[in-house]
Amino acid sequence: MIPLGRDRAVRHFPFVTWLLLAANVAAFVHQCRLGDSLEPFLRRWALIPVRLWSPAPGQPPCDLLWAWVSPFTAMFLHGGLLHLLGNMLMLKVFGDGIEDRLGHLRFMALYLIWGLLASLAHVLLHVRSEVPMLGASGAIAGVMGAYLVLFPFTRVRFVVPVLFFPLVIRLPAVLYLLVWIATQVLAGYQSWAGGVPDRAGIAFEAHVGGFFAGLCSALWWRLRHRA
């Protein structure tokens, strides 16, 4: 199922959501213009866990500094057009509702924190990995976790391909989000069970870490707001 939108309207224009969308698209356009320089660019700005702890022999100190910046920069890079479009669609469907509820500055700060915590979850389970990790998926998973807490029964519109015809249906967000996180946990477990967790091509641990970071943040905000 591909989410298209939701029934709940927002009260304020989602400046931050659109800013994040623009930043991710601009970064991807820059990637597309690099040509043969793309691979070294990604090796420098994507997150490579082992470089945080074990710099290469002869590596200048400034390169180690860039390695610790990479958990932030990796949030704005993508591995392909479908990767970008999928993430941006999720951000648009779920992000502006969270921004509307939490406020612009709080949403921006939490989005970045969720992305960094998602990267941390990946790094802790792949300490020696040399496989680059990139994408906004971890931060957006945080948005989805927060949405589960704040708008569980808001109906979300999905398109479901039936044979060759698209069918649009409406379901409560809680159904989609619980199924989504369950698939991420299961897929992550299967990749570990297969013995090659860092070669699955998808950072499932980052998705799970980001999702629960967003969920816990929204729970804390809701309890504090009620108090």
Domain total of the chain: 1
Report the CATH number that the domain containing residue 188 is assigned in CATH.
1.20.1540.10
* pLDDT given at position 60: 61
What confidence tens digit (pLDDT) does each residue in 178-221 have?
999 999 999 888 877 666 555 555 788 899 999 999 999 999 99
CA distance 83 to 158: 19
For 1, the token pair is 């199922």
Ordered DSSP codes for the chain:
-EEEEESPPPSS--HHHHHHHHHHHHHHHHHHT-GGGHHHHHHHHSB-THHHHSPPTT--HHHHHHHHHHHHHGGG--SSHHHHHHHHHHHHHHHHHHHHHH-HHHHHHHHHHHHHHHHHHHHHH-TT--S-B--SHHHHHHHHHHHHHH-TT-EEEEEEEETTEEEEEEEEHHHHHHHHHHHHHHHHHHHHHTT-GGGSSS-HHHHHHHHHHHHHHHHHHHHHHH-
Q: Which residue has the higher pLDDT, 68 or 64?
A: 68
Note the pLDDT tens digit of each residue in 39-60: 889 888 999 888 887 766 656 6
Q: What is the pLDDT of residues 21-41, one digit of tens each?
A: 999 999 999 999 998 899 889
Give the pLDDT confidence of 103-131 residue by residue, as tens digits: 999 999 999 999 999 999 999 888 888 88
Q: Are 72 and 120 in contact, with CB atoms under 8 Å apart?
A: no
Q: From the centroid of its chain, how far is CA 80?
A: 15
Chain centroid to Cα 165, Å, comes to 30
Of the candidates 216, 1, 185, 193, which has an alpha carbon nearest to the alpha carbon of residue 90?
Answer: 1
Please indicate whether residue 168 or residue 77 has the higher confidence score (pLDDT): 77
Taking only the tens place, the pLDDT of each residue in 189-199 is 887 766 655 55
pTM: 0.90
Mean pLDDT of 4-12: 82
CA 118 to chain centre: 8
Task: Give the integer Cα–Cα distance in Å for 126 and 198.
Answer: 7
Structural domain of 205: 2-226
